Chain A
Amino acid sequence: MRKYLLFGLYITAVCAIIYSCQNTSEMNQAQYMTGGKDLYIANCQNCHGANGEGLGELAPPLTDTIFLTKNKEKLACFIKNGANEPMVINGKTYEGKMPDFANLHDIDIAQVIVYITNSFGNKQGMYTYQQVAIDLQKCNSAKNP
């Protein structure tokens, strides 16, 4: 009987640990989402819209989950350095120029990407500021080898 009790307690403890771990990562993402939303309103919303709907053919929508997944490691570069290449989004080509947001720090970029890729019908989970640094380095070295 005692054995069972101890075993039960052990299982509960393990479950509690796993559960609390999940909670911190969820909480982390929630923090990124809140910060990201404010940054989005301040920097992105005037062109891309409150619901990520874009603006005519001037600014593309942010609702193309496939594009966002495929180009995930380029998103940080688009934001930091701006973009001046045509992009096909939701089957339409957008040729406009996106300005750079060089003033944003890695953590800001991470938050805004988490916000965008988990709003407007997207659900792609966490993206850390450490990853931003790695992705920025990749595209900068591709640009200036």
Chain B
Amino acid sequence: MKKIKSQLIILVVSLFVIACSDAKKLPIYGEREVAITKDKDGNQKIDTIYQTIPNFSFLNQDSTVITQDAFKGKIYVADFFFTSCTTICPTMHRNLKTVYEDFKNNPDVMFISHTIDFKYDKPSVLKKYAEKLGVNTNKWEFVYGNKEEIYSIAEKNYLTVVEEDSTARDGYIHQGWLVLIDKQKRMRGAYDGTKTEQVEQLKKDMATLLAEEK
């Protein structure tokens, strides 16, 4: 009888351990497809293909073309903003800057902010903004693209709503998501950049993601 009891305890404890180690993976967001492929011995294999961020080409704050090559082998946080935004952007970037401070010495982490103000936020304006925010642009890129490209990547790939709206105070409306992308360009999380508790969760999830991809 005593033996059964101790076995039961071991079972329960190991269940907890398994449950815990399972929780250490972040979900993968976006659409997915199932593909049937054959391995080299001719056996059929079922693969899941996840939605990934497509190739892009934008100008950064130094007017240099920036593509996915800059983010190769790194996890990164992406968001959408504009420099003359007086509503949610300052709060988003105040919060994102605390994330940047935590990870700025980690070579596997980067940040990218896309401007949605294609009329005014030319690279020189972004450069000034980055300097005033006080961040290193090798680590945190600020990018400019034409309206179609930026708005399309925002909505289709980063699942963030951005819009021109002449009735809004600053002329645009957009969501304040901070989107976490893994080394395989898959979306692993989205956090409301205006809420400190969600930003704290982002920091924890980034550590989890880095450990997962080691």
Contact = CB atoms under 8 A, between A and B. Distances in A.
B94 A49 contact: yes
A55 B133 contact: yes
A59 B90 contact: yes
Interface of B is mostly: helix
Nearest to A49: B94
Given A46-B87, A46-B88, A57 B131 contact: yes
A57 B132 contact: yes
B90 A55 contact: yes
A46 B90 CA distance: 6
A125 interface: no
Instruction: Please report whether the interface of chain A is mostly helix, strand, loop or mixed according to DSSP.
Output: loop
B86 A58 contact: no
A56 to B, nearest CB: 4
A86 interface: no
B86 A46 contact: yes
Contacts of A49: 94
A58 to B, nearest CB: 5
Interface centre among A47, A56, A59, by most chain B C-beta atoms within 10 angstroms, is: A56
Interface in A30-74: 45-47, 49, 55-59
Interface in B74-108: 84, 86-91, 93-94, 97
A90 to B, nearest CB: 15
A96 interface: yes
Nearest to B196: A50
Q: How large is the interface on B (under 10, 10 to 19, 20 to 34, 35 or more residues)?
A: 10 to 19
A11 B90 CA distance: 56
A46 B91 contact: yes
Contacts of A55: 90, 93-94, 133
A99 B132 contact: no
B134 interface: yes
Contacts of B131: 57
B129 interface: yes
Contacts of A59: 90
A58 B91 contact: no
A47 B94 CA distance: 9
Contacts of A56: 97, 132-134
B80 to A, nearest CB: 16
B128 to A, nearest CB: 9
A99 B86 contact: yes
Contacts of A96: 132
A99 B94 CA distance: 18
Contacts of A45: 91
A60 B58 CA distance: 31
Interface string B116-138: 00000000000001011110000
29 contacts: A45-B91, A46-B86, A46-B87, A46-B88, A46-B89, A46-B90, A46-B91, A47-B86, A47-B90, A49-B94, A55-B90, A55-B93, A55-B94, A55-B133, A56-B97, A56-B132, A56-B133, A56-B134, A57-B131, A57-B132, A57-B133, A57-B134, A58-B90, A58-B129, A58-B132, A59-B90, A96-B132, A97-B84, A99-B86
Query: Which are the 6 A-B pairs with shortest beta-carbon distances?
Result: A57-B132, A56-B134, A56-B133, A46-B91, A47-B90, A46-B90
Given A55-B94, A59-B90, 11 more contacts: A45-B91, A46-B86, A46-B87, A46-B88, A46-B90, A55-B90, A55-B93, A56-B97, A57-B132, A58-B133, A99-B86
